[in-house]
Amino acid sequence: MERLQHMRSQIVLAENLAWLRDQVAAGFRLIYIDPPFNTGQRRELRSIRTVRDDEQGDRHGFGGRRYATVEVGRRSYDDRHDDYLEFLEERIAIARDLLTPDGSFFLHVDPREVHYCKVLMDTIFGRASFLNEIIWSYDFGGRSKRRWPAKHDNILWYARDPENYCFNYDAIDRVPYMAPSLVTPEKAARGKVPTDVWWQTIVPTNGRERTGYPTQKPVAILERIIKVHSDPGDTVLDFFAGSGTTGDAAARHGRRFVLIDDNPEAIGVMENRLRDAEPEVLGVEGR
Ligand SMILES: C[S@@+](CC[C@H](N)C(=O)[O-])C[C@H]1O[C@@H](n2cnc3c(N)ncnc32)[C@H](O)[C@@H]1O
């Protein structure tokens, strides 16, 4: 714990099981992970650019000019795990012991996996340590005509000690009442504390927040978790860090971060995104 109080934030290129096994003493107040879902796919996002091409361009612009769309890069990572629960179990069990005595663990999964993951988490933390299942509800993309469109993710919150954990009630942002005319004008102006169902749009395709990394989560979700479940000066760990959303939210609110990912593309995206926080970058050859 002592060690973390003096260290800089870190971005680490590493396979997370190996990294976790190497940690001797730690004191993370908060751990959030968003592991790859067991979709059996390789996730890929193409970066494209439109260039002028009067010969072969298939898009027509002003003054008879023609343009073509060219691929300038691909970001991808493997989303296949033969045994998803076994994959998660060892990592989460080690990570639990890296929490402070009043630390919290957030596991972000989806409706296809959440029931298996909850049983796993109960086994590792004990059933009493389960505090909430947060439903992150969004509204984007196609809508099935054969069943209810699935538009939510599940975030399980477990405390290391269910009698002693960080919950900064006053730091919770307020949301509008559904029927403001039914409450006093003062209450309507203040808004209400959200429930365990959080409405939040996905990261907008063309917004400033967008890094281009597949499966990037909205920073607003992480900001809410970090403000309520840690204090300024604490250190937050994310060992499936991706584009570094956890680090972004931590830095915005005066927390340090440790971000682990085994994909060099993720490290590049995080370095770029979190430059202002001046993190140490470890595990990259030549540093
Ligand atoms: C779903 S993404 C995380 C997205 C992130 N929450 C964000 O907002 O950008 C999962 C990440 O875990 C990383 N990952 C998968 N297996 C890993 C492992 N064994 N060690 C370290 N990172 C891993 C992948 O490279 C990927 O970046």
pLDDT tens digits, 84-137: 898 999 999 999 999 999 999 999 999 999 999 999 999 999 999 999 999 999
Q: What percent of the chain has pLDDT over 70?
A: 82
- CA 155-256-153 angle, 5° bins: 15
Nearest CA to ligand 1 atom 1: 36
Pocket of ligand 1 contains residue 216 by CB under 6 Å: yes
Cα torsion for 228, 229, 233, 235, to the nearest 10°?
Answer: -140
| pLDDT beyond 90 at 59 | no
Does pLDDT of 188 surpass 60? yes
Q: Which region among 65-74, 77-86, 214-223, 240-249 has the lowest average model confidence (pLDDT)?
A: 65-74
What is the predicted pLDDT for the residue at 49? 52
Give me the mean pLDDT over the 215-220 stretch: 96
Higher pLDDT, 86 or 235: 235
Pocket test for ligand 1, best of 261, 270, 272 (most atoms within 8 A of CB): 261
Going by alpha carbons, the residue nearest to atom 5 of ligand 1 is: 242
Asked whether the predicted pLDDT for residue 41 surpasses 60, the reply is no
Q: For residue range 149-181, what is the model confidence (pLDDT) as tens digits?
A: 999 999 999 999 999 999 999 999 999 999 999
pTM (predicted TM-score): 0.86
Question: What three-state secondary structure class fits 140?
Answer: coil
pLDDT > 90? residue 141? no
Q: Check whether 207 has a pLDDT greater than 60.
A: yes
pLDDT for 62? 52
pLDDT at 52 over 70: no
Q: How confident is the model at residue 55 (pLDDT cuts 50, 70, 90)?
A: confident
Tell whether ligand 1 has an atom less than 6 A from the beta carbon of residue 217. yes
For atom 4 of ligand 1, which residue has the closest CA? 242
Question: Under CATH, which number does the domain 2-40+80-166+196-282 receive?
Answer: 3.40.50.150
Domain-by-domain residue ranges, the chain?
A: 2-40+80-166+196-282, 45-79
Alpha-carbon span 140 to 190, nearest angstrom: 28
Q: Whose C-alpha lies nearest to ligand 1, atom 13?
A: 240
Pairing state of beta strands 10-13 and 28-33? unpaired
Q: Is 261 in the pocket of ligand 1 (CB under 6 A)?
A: yes
Q: Does ligand 1 come within 6 angstroms of the Cβ of 215?
A: yes
Question: 153 CB under 6 A from ligand 1?
Answer: no
Residues 6+ apart with CB under 8 A from 269: 75, 211, 212, 213, 242, 243, 244
Ligand 1 center–CA 139 separation, angstroms: 24
How would you class 43 by CB atoms within 10 Å of its CB: exposed for 0-12, middle for 13-18, buried for 19 or more? middle
pLDDT score, position 75: 59
Kindly state the tokens that stand for 158.
């477990």
Work out the angle at residue 29's Cα, subtended by the Cα atoms of residues 196 and 233, and round it to the nearest 5 degrees. 110
CA-to-CA distance for 161 and 128, rounded, in angstroms? 9
Q: Among 104, 130, 103, which Cα is nearest to 117's?
A: 130
Strands (E), 80-167: 99-109, 130-137, 152-159
Best of 262, 269, 271, 274 for a ligand 1 pocket test (most atoms within 8 Å of beta carbon): 262
